[in-house]
Amino acid sequence: MTACLIVALPFCAALALTGCADDGPAPVDAEQARAFIDSAEARLMDLWIASQRASWVQSTFITDDTERIAAKAYEDVIAATLELAEESTRFDHLELPGDVERKIKLLRRSLVLPAPRDPAKQEELSILAVGLESDYGKGEYCPEGSASECQDLAQLSRIMATSRDPEELLEAWRGWRTISPPMRPRYERFVELGNEGAQAFGFADLSEMWLSNYDMPSKETMADMERLWQEVRPLYLALHAHVRASLVKHYGTRLVPEDGHIPAHLLGNMWSQSWINIYPLVAPSQQAQGFDLTQILRARKVDERGMVRFGERFFVSLGFDPLPDTFWERSLFTQPTDHDVVCHASAWNIDLEQDLRIKMCIEINEEDFATVHHELGHNFYQRAYSHQPPLFRDSANDAFHEAIGDTVALSVTPSYLQQIGLLDEAPSPDGDLELLMKMALEKVAFLPFGLLVDQWRWKVFTGEISSADYNKSWWDLRRKYQGIDAPVPRSEADFDPGAKYHIPANTPYSRYFFAHILQFQFHRALCKEAGYEGPLHHCSIYDNAAAGERLKKTLKMGMSRPWPEALEALTGERRMDATALLDYFAPLTAWLDEHNQDRPVGF
């Protein structure tokens, strides 16, 4: 039987649980297919939970032992999924009930990281995956090798956010990128094994497997990304031109060219994916300062749990149940001082039912206030679909999970802050440009970065980008899409993609690009449901039962239906649409176009 499974006829591996007969496989029917998928879900549920628990421990207490335990648990998931996916091919010739057919399709594409059939390679891939993520979580920059002065990502990010000293910024920028070159040879091997695993599931490579999650041919999904990017690109170019001119004014043309790429270390963020931290340098010049939410939170002595309580109350106001007590007992809200953790914010549902948690090293500031609302969006989504069969316990597509959280964060408006007592009175509409500029520095500035991360990775997976050109290709794409460049020469001795969490953690990134489009589409639909008729950027759905009910209805669907149906349930539309984003920023667009008349636009 074992020999048959490993080396025999192509169909023989699918018969691991039924045996190999000389005269071919025994006949099967739709009822057997349903019984198979029900059994598969029960088996996978146990393995998923075990892997989640191990991964939680590994992320919140990084040691060699927790890495190995997490790797083994994920290896078990991979092996079982591969076995079950192969077995499911017995039913390919049948006409199956819709839910059974969909579950089998989801089973085959349920792994972000599939593994080869060889058990030794499965173990190798699991160790690589967990080790790469842990290396990122443990990453530190030690100037001139001084262990006593080592700085982790949080400390380096604070420098990037607050300093205006270009030399200090450059040291922090370069320092963080010293963690990733050792990842490079392991990442090359990781890609080889991941592609081999995808091929075992019938895909050409990992990129094709990831793109299959969008319920349409991969070329159509990529075309959708390009269509949406072309719709929003003029707004990005206008923002880029204004920011570049403002940086020229502050730093001079010695550091910032008047008509070229912006140096990456001057944009207030380690990856230049958000520019919100340089707002004081680019603020509309004649606008009042308005309010500083960071200072308000600190003055009112809001602590980390208090930040999360604000987010919870938002969802409760929409009709959702409060978070369970275990959430408050088991979540990680602050960065420990005695051991390493992966501080990258994330939301978890350990048992896929009620064991909800967040893992986040919360800082008391405006950015993390919005991030808390975003992460809780994941948790409330997870609980909403927890009644679905296991294979349907996910968002309609991976962008929906991100977009729901961000949709809620769009309702963190001045009027909302006034309603919850953080502002005594909402600013007048005269401050709209200020608020829109801040939002654009976060949302619009992100769009090309959200696009290019997977552009790079898909080309790596397909072989279009060879391992000899990893870093060159990364910066080619950053110049092309973002209009930024490395502040110092980079070479193939570097591995700058690895300095971004989602590369070593193997987390698909196109979801974030789509989410930045969908969140405005969702926001517009929910504001309409709430009966709101004013400017879209003023709308908050806080405490609106009608909007909450429509949101809950969509969240409960989980992955039970193709995503266009979930989109239609929430918005009445079946196609992703960037017009809501453009409507939201229309006043700022007009202002930018006026102020850019005598400036070079583009790069």
Q: Which residues are catalytic?
A: 344-345, 374-375, 378, 402, 502, 512
Backbone angles phi, psi at 442, to 5 degrees: -95, -50
Backbone angles phi, psi at 436, to 5 degrees: -70, -35
**Beta-carbon neighbour count of residue 535 at 10 Å?**
14
Which residues are within 8 A (CB) of 106 and not within 5 positions of it... i.e. 6 or more apart?
Answer: 391, 392, 559
CB 284 within 8 Å of CB 437: yes
Q: How far is CA 61 from CA 54, 58, 69, 338, in A?
A: 10, 5, 12, 10
- How far apart are alpha carbons 505 and 511 in whole angstroms? 15
- How far apart are alpha carbons 17 and 220 in whole angstroms? 37
Which contiguous run of DSSP H or E holds residue 151? strand 151-152
CB 170 within 8 Å of CB 265: yes
CB 500 within 8 Å of CB 484: no
Pair of tokens at residue 597: 């008349």
CB 208 within 8 Å of CB 530: no
Backbone angles phi, psi at 484, to 5 degrees: -125, 165
- How far apart are alpha carbons 128 and 309 in whole angstroms? 37
- How far apart are alpha carbons 45 and 352 in whole angstroms? 8
DSSP 223-271: HHHHHHHHHHHHHHHHHHHHHHHHHHHHH-TTTS-SSSPEEGGGSSSTT
Residue 2: strand pairing partners: none
Residue 597: strand pairing partners: none
Backbone angles phi, psi at 401, to 5 degrees: -60, -45
CB 563 within 8 Å of CB 396: yes
Radius of gyration for the alpha carbons in the chain, expressed in angstroms and rounded: 24
Q: Of 481, 502, 470, 61, nearest to 270 (Cα)?
A: 502
CB 139 within 8 Å of CB 153: yes
Pairing of the two strands 356-359 and 346-349: antiparallel
Q: How far is CA 160 from CA 154, 173, 335, in A?
A: 10, 8, 19
